[in-house]
Every structure is written in C-alpha cells, then in structure tokens.
A and B are shown apart, each in its own frame.
Chain A
Amino acid sequence: MAGGDTRTCVEVKDVTVGYEDRIVLDRISWTVPAGTSAAIIGPNGGGKSTLLRTLVGRLRPMTGTVRIFGRPPQEARHLLAYLPQFEEIDWQFPIRAIDVVMQGLLARTPWWRPPGKGALDQAMAALERVRLASEAQRPVGALSGGQRQRVLLARALLQDAQLILLDEPATGLDAPAQHELLDVVDDLKRDGRTVIATTHDLNCLTDHFDTVLCLRGKVICQGPPEEALKPEQLLAVFGRHVPLVTAEGRVTIFEHHR
C-alpha cells in the first residue's frame, strides 16, 4: 500500500464507527507505533471493544480510514491475532491446550496442507514461552482464567501475529494471574510485536503499557500513562472522580471501575 509506513502498526484517521442506529466512536484519530503496547481505557459503552472490532475488520468505519501496517484491516488479518472477551469462547469445547496453540498455524498455512513435522515442536516452544509447557495435554476447560489467556497468546505466537489485540484480558483474573499475563505481554513486545488491550483495570498500566488511549465516544486523552492519566482527564473519561496518587513516576489508582 502506497505510503504505508512499516514503523507504524496502527493508524486510525478521522474514524467514525457505530451500529445501525447509533454512532459509538465519533471522528477519532490514533496512532500506535510498531513494537509498542497500548491500553484502551474508558467506561462501558465508551467504545473500547468497538474500536478493537474495527481494527480486526469486523466493523467498517462510516468515515475515515484504518490501516494496519499500511493496509486495510481485511488485508492484514494474517498479521493480527484477536483475543475476544472471555465469554465469547467456548471453553468447554473438548480440546487440549496444545490443540488450541496449533490453531495458530491455520491462519498462515493453506487449508489442504497438514501441520508439518516441526509444527508440534513449534507449538510446544510457544507454550514454553508462556510458561505452560506442563499443561499442554490438559483440556483448556481445566485451565485457570490466566492460563487460558496465555494459551491464546501462545496461539498468537505460533501464528506469528505482529499485532495482538486483547479485549478485557484482565477481567476475572486475580493480581498474580494478571502479572503473569502482563509479563508475557512484555515478552511479546521484546520480539517487536505490538500489543493493544482494552482494560478496566488502571493499575497495571504504568508498568506495562507504553501509551494509553482514553475513550468516551471520542478521544478524551492519549499519550504515555503518566501524562494521560491526570485526575481531571480521568474525571472526564469516567464521569466521576478517580482517586489516584503519583509517586516516583508511577500512577496508582485506588478504585476499580466497572
């Protein structure tokens, strides 16, 4: 695609998107450099998931353009992996963790080609990287919430996705599980992969995400967490006061938002 800057992973320009009867996001612009991580925060109905659905090409913008590595989302699918909200996946489906990871190959090999000899080793290596090699043979339904998310990240690794989108990955995870997940996210970033996550949980942001996008129908603020997460801006995003303290460059928020 002409003018596609490979250093820019996501470029959203003047995008309006919504459903038949209502506009959810009004003329938003946003850029995510390749190899960085970005968190999308905002109240329910603020447009976080809608933006992710637009990035994966499920929703088409009414105005403006979306580019993933310089291409329209529909042409960039092999480059991206999307982890939907927890309840969108049938976790009781009778497959093992390793089978889920192997699905990553389907996106980048023709349908008639069976997985090659090396495929299983690659899948095991991906599980190893998310620290789940010992769980390979277990049914996914028997894994904890955090382990399930990491299995999906291993699948994204096998797919060799360059952009990984997570919709509310922290929901329902306790603090240790969240940290394990975010450690994996950091690890993916070290490969040069770009990670974008929506979240309600503001505390993890300063340590793990390079930039924040605050959405409430439009862009309220964006930038590095320590700049974007100012009290007055959080008030504008969530519509009420959010207690927070800033110390040594870290922002800590004293409340969860639902």
Chain B
Amino acid sequence: MSTIVEFFAEPFQFSFMTRAFVGVSLIAVLAGVVGAFVMLKGLAFIGDAVAHASFGGLVAAMLLGVPLHLGALLFALLTAAGLTVLGRKTGLRADASLAILFTGAFALGVLGLAARPNFAGDLTALLVGSVLAIRPADIYWILAAAAITGIVLAAAFRHLVYISFDPQGAEAAGLPVAGLQWLLLSLVALTVVVSLQAVGVVLVVALMITPAATASLFVRRLERLMTVAVLCGLSATWIGLYASYYLSTPPGATVVTVATAQFTAGLAMRRLLSGRAKLPPGRFSGTL
C-alpha cells in the first residue's frame, strides 16, 4: 500500500515537479475549454500560426528587455486582429492571410535572433517548451489567462456559439461578428502565449486540439464536450508527467503522446460501441 502512495507522491518531493504538475494541469484546463472552439471551427492551423507569430514577439521582447509574455501576447493579438481584418476586407483566402502573417512574424523573430545570437539557447527552450523549468511567475500568467478566459466565456459564451454556428444569421441580427471573432482568436492567442514556457509553441496546439477531438467522438453538446476535453487533457497530463518522471522521457512530448493515444483509443472504442449502442454522428463519423 505504502509503495503505491510513494509511487504517486515521489515526484512531488521536487518543487520543479510540483510546479510542472500544477502548471500543465492548468494549461490542460484552459486549452481544453478554448480548444473545443478551436477544434469545432477548424482553427487548429490558426492556433499553430498564432504560436509561431508569437515567436517574433518573444524575440522582440528579449531584445527590448521587456517581459517575454508581453511581447508574445502583443504579436499574437496583432496576428489575430490581422487575420480578422484581412479576411473581411480583402477577400483574401483565410489560409493565405494566415501564411502571410505568421511567416512574416516568425521571420521577424529569426531576424531579431540573428542580431543577438547568444539568446539562441533560451529560444530553443521556448519552441519546444521545458516543463521542468516552469517558474512560479509562469503559473501566475496561466492563472491570469484562465481568469480572463473564464470572464470572457461567462459573458460571451452564447454569442461565440452563435457566430460559430451561424455567422451570417448572427451578423444580420446585429451581433458584432468581427469583434467576437477577434475575441475568440484572442483567447486562442492568450492560451498559446501562456503555455509557451511549459509545452512550447509546437506542442501547445496538440493540447488544444487533441483532447477536444477525443471528446467530440462521444458527446454532442458543447458544454459536455468542454468538460470531457478538460478531463482528457488532465488525465493525459498526469499520466504523461508520471511516465516522464519514471521513464525519463521528455515531459511535454510524453503528455502529447498520451493525448494522441487517448484519441486513438477513443476512435477504436467508438468503432466497437457503434455496433451496439446508438452513438451520435460525430465529426469523425466519415472516417469510421
């Protein structure tokens, strides 16, 4: 009995492991909620683009000596605004606007980096993340982002659902569709930026999309989808971090691998169940 307790308690004797569990768990909650919208609206690539664009902001912040999160957040929000404006004003295809903006911002980052090559080590950490180097300040940032996201969703959840479901109907009825779209992209940007330190720009997208996609295999109501996505994200986090601790694997990648395994298992389970139980036709029903 005590060995089981020891097994689960052992990582927590290290404060960096405790911070890793707390930080990534908070990210899993935040990413699960925001990720439900991202997955449903096919914004996965946008999340990725915002993450890359924020890299430019990170470099700019480093060079200017201001807090990194601020630079990243500014670039991410500007990218979100740019996407909203370009899409509506120029009729440019969304993927083209996206590619222009995020490669442009990323290139600025690379240019800035070239000016100060001695920062290269830190920036690599930000690209792939370093779960074990989460500082208390990072956790405060994540908490702040979660609070802001909570407030925004409390006020505008139904509006965001309306514009996601029927943007033209919403606009005709007088909802500020462009503003709400920017708000949604800003929540994505915020989630990405505060997750940078922990899981890096590359893996944060997985934490937004994969748990939500797994949840969408089984539930057909947005509120439940968010709940299940958060639970999937949390369990992937905890399983991943324990596995990483005992197997000495890279923690961020381990968490994402567990999340991917959950999705694969979900697909298989759906296929097994669909023979017997009546399951809702999900987004992935075409592939089953």
Contacts and interface: CB of A to CB of B under 8 A. Distances in A.
A165 B221 contact: no
Contacts of A161: 173
Given A102-B158, A111-B155, A82 B165 contact: no
Give the size range of A's interface with the partner.
Answer: 35 or more
B216 A80 contact: no
Interface stretch (A40-48, A90-98, A194-202): A90-98
Given A94-B225, A96-B221, A141-B220, A106 B162 contact: yes
Contacts of B220: 94, 139, 141
Given A94-B222, A95-B221, A82 B158 contact: no
A73 B169 CA distance: 14
A58 B221 contact: no
Given A88-B166, A95-B165, A78 B173 contact: yes
Given A84-B166, A90-B166, A95-B221, A107 B40 contact: no
Contacts of B167: 88
B216 A103 contact: no
A83 interface: yes
A55 to B, nearest CB: 9
A213 interface: no
B174 A90 contact: no
A167 to B, nearest CB: 9
B171 interface: yes
B172 A77 contact: yes
A77 B177 CA distance: 13
A57 B162 CA distance: 19
A21 to B, nearest CB: 11
Interface string A129-165: 0000000000101100000000010010001010001
Given A77-B173, A80-B173, A99 B161 contact: yes
A142 B164 contact: no
B232 to A, nearest CB: 16
A106 B168 contact: no
Contacts of B40: 90, 93-94
A81 B165 contact: no
B166 A142 contact: no
Summarize A's interface: helix, strand, loop or mixed.
Answer: mixed
B116 interface: no
Interface string B34-45: 000000110000
A141 B281 contact: yes
A228 interface: no
A112 B169 contact: no
Contacts of A221: none
A139 B167 CA distance: 18
A94 B166 CA distance: 13
Contacts of B166: 84, 88-90, 103, 152
A56 interface: yes
A106 B165 contact: no
Interface in B119-173: 155-156, 158-159, 161-162, 164-173
B174 A139 contact: no
A219 interface: no
B219 interface: yes
Contacts of B159: 106, 111
Interface in B167-188: 167-175
Interface centre among B167, B173, B220 (most CB of A within 10 A): B173
Contacts of B219: 94
A89 B165 contact: yes
Given A95-B221, A139-B221, A100 B165 contact: yes
A90 B221 contact: no
Q: Please indicate which of the listed interface residues B40, B41, B168, B171 has the most CB atoms of chain A within 10 Å of its own CB.
A: B168
Nearest to B165: A93
Given A94-B222, A106-B158, A81 B169 contact: yes
A95 B173 contact: no
Which of B170, B172, B174, B216: most chain A Cβ within 10 A? B172
Contacts of B281: 141-142
A112 B155 contact: yes
From B40, B155, B161, B169, name the one whose CB has the most chain A CB atoms within 10 angstroms.
Answer: B169
Contacts of A139: 220-221, 280
B283 interface: yes
24 contacts: A56-B172, A80-B173, A81-B172, A81-B173, A82-B169, A83-B169, A84-B168, A88-B166, A88-B168, A93-B40, A93-B161, A93-B222, A94-B216, A94-B220, A95-B165, A95-B221, A95-B222, A96-B221, A106-B162, A106-B170, A139-B220, A152-B166, A159-B173, A161-B173
Interface of B: 40-41, 155-156, 158-159, 161-162, 164-175, 216, 219-222, 225, 280-281, 283
Given A77-B173, A106-B162, 8 more contacts: A88-B168, A93-B222, A94-B40, A95-B161, A106-B175, A112-B155, A139-B220, A139-B280
